[in-house]
Amino acid sequence: DVKVTQSSRYLVKRTGEKVFLECVQDMDHENMFWYRQDPGLGLRLIYFSYDVKMKEKGDIPEGYSVSREKKERFSLILESASTNQTSMYLCASSFFRLGEPSTDTQYFGPGTRLTVL
């Protein structure tokens, strides 16, 4: 069974704090993703990474950065948290290897509900 874990289920931070959200997957997946989920807006891609130390911006990268130092771990960083970053954050991973068929299936973690006061 693929397992994607996120460091916290619930997090409360203050405006201006630096926030780290951690994600770990145990399936040796190349691709990892960070989304935020807001009512009526679905899942919006913040950043993704297709290899260690590689990252690409998604649709809403402003105010966020990411780090991928190890294949299994992908961190989302809020440099200076703001109230409009209060949301559910979901991490996902998927398999890809050049030259091999990709299933494209993304496996999600349980999410971190972040509240910024």
Distance between CA atoms of residues 2 and 81, nearest Å:
31
Q: Binding segment for other proteins among 10-18, 52-60, 66-74, 75-83 (CB under 8 A)? A: 52-60
* 90 part of the interface to other proteins, by CB under 8 A: yes
Question: Which residue is listed with tokens 């203050």?
Answer: 14
Q: Could you tell me how far CA 108 lies from the centroid of its own chain?
A: 9
Stretch that binds other proteins, among 13-21, 48-56, 70-78, 79-87 (CB under 8 A): 48-56
* Parallel/antiparallel/unpaired status of strands 31-38 and 19-25: unpaired
DSSP state of 80: S
Number of residues that bind other proteins (CB under 8 A): 30
Structure tokens at 15: 């405006």
Whose Cβ is closer to other proteins: residue 82's or residue 107's?
A: 107
Question: Which parts of this chain interact with other proteins (CB under 8 A)?
Answer: 4, 30-31, 35, 40-45, 48, 50-51, 56, 58-59, 90, 92, 94, 96, 98, 102, 104-111
